[in-house]
Structure 1
């Protein structure tokens, strides 16, 4: 499994020599819990800011701020991402109107990208921000059946308006990316230093609490076990993420992808 993720990481990072990220956007840290999910860009604090994963027959690349998807300085990576996400040569590349500047970046590199309100047939690549709450089912089915999804956004502002305990279960982007084990969190991502890795980055082990309104059943079970070993009171939901981060960061790099 690790060798498959390593090959995917190599394809995503081909020719990328630096992370030329825009200085203005404040990203959100990404949480990875799925076996297929792996980090692509990690800052010097150990926070994941770009990740990739798979679901069904398709693939996803998740970026921690939509501003990164419209930044020409990240063109080498964005082109690699679209290429890796593409289910077959010549497949269409659609871009949601919210990311219109990305069309120019892709077209300047010779790709035939077009603004489209939603993904369609034939299956190809679709690029969208993480704030759309009307295409959730469409995007999930698109990836499940073999499409490639490039999605970006941050959840810290949404959390300030709706509550941090609702981010993992109700933030629009998480309703899509969670099927592949990737979540946007309300934690600010540090922007000071980024290092280009030659292989899948290792993430330091951190155990901490993140409020989770409705954690998945398997996470609740783990959290309940942990809670029983601790003194004092604590809900399964409040302990769930501690279990997740501890376990997933020991197994980074596993996953399964189509050939």
Structure 2
């Protein structure tokens, strides 16, 4: 499509200046977004993202990445990872360093991308835990159906939940292993400050799930003063 033929299209209540973005979102609902490499997956997750409009009062935790399957998506200028993705078994996972990011309407482009990448097909049902109820309307405004589901189950293709649930850890791990997509968010620094077990990497509820994919919530606060939107996957030191 030539630049001179670009038109403004309205999607999810906001203006996009390129029809390519609209075509992407339409295609994202109809095709399998599973990617063979982290670089390709990163591009799928970041398509159309031009800025990180994060909630100012939501201080995320830094994420620790281990192994070759996990990769960074959102990184601050200090090299701290705030959003990451990975794979485990036949499924995929997107991890966010604060649950409020998952219900922030200004991040709808990324949220749509994340759900699209996590789905195995356009027919895969999306379930959302009640802790992230506002996400239902965000997706609905973009033409994506989802339902509130108190627990993950085999009929779902994607499940979205915060990182504080202690009753579904095994079910969530098996869900991803069998091919499901998991969108999960939370921060561990406040959890640790409330007198919970200091061994955050081993006892924080979210880590009992995401650790199988090489992603850990830490008790380190992440600086939010500057986030750059990267066109290519950010390079960070990764423990292998």
Q: The TM-score by the shorter chain falls in which range?
A: 0.7 to 0.9
Superposed, which structure 2 residues align to 1:133-172 within 5 Å?
133-162=166-195, 165-172=198-205
Over the residues paired in the alignment, what is the CA RMSD in angstroms? 1.5
Structure 1 counterpart of 2:66: 33
1:161 CA drift (Å):
2.4
Structure 1 counterpart of 2:38: 5
2:150 to 117, 120, 136: 117
Instruction: Give distance in 2, aligned partners of 1:30 and 1:202.
Output: 14
Q: Which 4+ runs in 1 deviate beyond 6 A? A: none
1:9 CA drift (Å):
0.3
Superposed, which structure 2 residues align to 1:165-204 within 5 Å?
165-203=198-236
8 A Cα contact 1:124 1:147, kept in partner: yes
1:34 CA drift (Å):
2.3
8 A Cα contact 1:53 1:60, kept in partner: yes
Task: Give TM-score, length-normalised by structure 1.
Answer: 0.77
- Count residues in correspondence: 206
Matched, 1:108 2:141: yes
Structure 1 counterpart of 2:119: 86
Task: Give TM-score, length-normalised by structure 2.
Answer: 0.83
Q: Deviations over 1:136-160 (max 9, x none)?
A: 0110010000000000000001111
Q: Deviations over 1:154-184 (max 9, x none)?
A: 0001111235741000000000000000000
Aligned partner of residue 107 in structure 2, secondary structure: helix
- Of Structure 1 and Structure 2, which has the larger fraction of its residues in helix? 1
8 A Cα contact 2:176 2:182, kept in partner: yes
Structure 2 counterpart of 1:128: 161
Residue segments in structure 2 that go unaligned for 5+ positions in a row: 1-35
Instruction: Give distance in 2, aligned partners of 1:161 and 1:78.
Output: 29
Instruction: Give distance in 1, aligned partners of 2:154 and 2:66.
Output: 30
1:202 CA drift (Å):
1.1
